[in-house]
């Protein structure tokens, strides 16, 4: 009886070890192929969710696959901390291990990333000095032209996803100490601008933007996507 128990324990350990080896191979192959096909500067960290892996592989369906890309460049700007989570993934094991990423299909892709404020400032109007998050909201400081006269001011703005990217719109203005009072209407057209981030990889369109200490946290979603839809313009 004791010998049978030992045999069962050893067999269970072997099955678990084999399962972990298989998932590691699949994750590495997905990461390697994506890095090679789309010119990523580093191989992304891939995590295939669910346990055990082999039963999912035999069925060809996975609840989620997390692809941590890191830095990504596209649409004339660079974002950080790009993470793409695929849910309800259809992928045959021979395709995964064979690197045929074009055959992998996901019901939904949710991408998140950070757009640094230095990047946002690159698209801001002339005279913008700083962009930062504050308790009052997103603040833009600088010296702006008001009817041809340069005037220092601090402007609180809102951000929203649009067809053209991230739209930045002034909602209040505070004149510099000792400076003239400035009408928001006079600055609205000058300080309304767009950061041209229309989408993230896999065709995910922006759905939410949240200011944070380091930049704008953006979320984008796409449906019925393929791994092969990852853009090739990646740093």
pTM, 2 dp: 0.79
Percent helix, percent strand, percent coil in the chain, to nearest 5:
30, 45, 20
Residue 129 CA to residue 153 CA, distance in Å, equals 10
**Do residues 50 and 56 touch, judged by C-beta distance below 8 A?**
yes
Residue predicted with more confidence, 194 or 14: 194
Residue 64 contacts by C-beta under 8 Å, 6 or more apart in sequence?
Answer: 48, 49, 50, 85, 86, 87, 89
Give 5's pLDDT tier (boundaries 50, 70, 90). Answer: very low
Top-ranked range on mean pLDDT: pick from 5-9, 23-27, 42-46: 42-46
Residue 95 CA to residue 156 CA, distance in Å, equals 51
User: 180 — phi, psi (to 5°)?
Assistant: -75, 155
Residue 30 CA to residue 104 CA, distance in Å, equals 10
Give 190's pLDDT tier (boundaries 50, 70, 90). Answer: confident
**Domain assignments of the chain as residue spans, ordered by start:** 2-115+201-208, 124-195
**Is the pLDDT reported for residue 9 higher than 50?**
no
User: What pLDDT is recorded for position 179?
Assistant: 60
Work out the average pLDDT over 136-163.
Answer: 87
**Is the pLDDT reported for residue 92 higher than 90?**
no
């Amino acid at each position: 009886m004791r010998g049978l128990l030992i045999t069962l324990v050893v067999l269970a350990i072997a099955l678990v070890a084999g399962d972990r080896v298989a998932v590691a191979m699949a994750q590495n192959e997905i990461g390697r192929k994506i890095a090679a096909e789309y010119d990523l500067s580093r191989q992304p960290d891939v995590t295939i969710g669910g346990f055990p892996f082999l039963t999912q592989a035999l069925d060809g369906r996975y609840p989620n696959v997390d692809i941590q890309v890191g830095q990504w460049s596209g649409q004339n700007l660079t974002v950080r901390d790009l993470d793409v989570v695929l849910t309800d993934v259809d992928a045959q094991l021979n395709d995964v291990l064979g690197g045929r990423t074009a055959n992998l299909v996901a019901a939904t892709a949710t991408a998140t990333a950070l757009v640094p404020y230095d990047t946002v400032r690159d698209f801001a109007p002339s005279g913008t000095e700083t962009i930062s998050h504050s308790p009052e909201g997103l603040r833009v400081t600088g010296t702006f032209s008001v009817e041809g006269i340069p005037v220092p001011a601090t402007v609180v703005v809102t951000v929203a996803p649009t067809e053209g990217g991230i739209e930045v719109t002034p909602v209040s203005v505070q004149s510099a100490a000792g400076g003239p009072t400035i009408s928001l209407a006079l600055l609205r057209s000058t300080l309304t601008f767009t950061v041209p981030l229309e989408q993230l990889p896999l065709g995910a369109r922006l759905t939410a933007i949240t200011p944070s200490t380091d930049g704008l946290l953006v979320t984008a979603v796409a449906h019925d996507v393929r791994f092969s839809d990852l853009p090739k313009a990646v740093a």
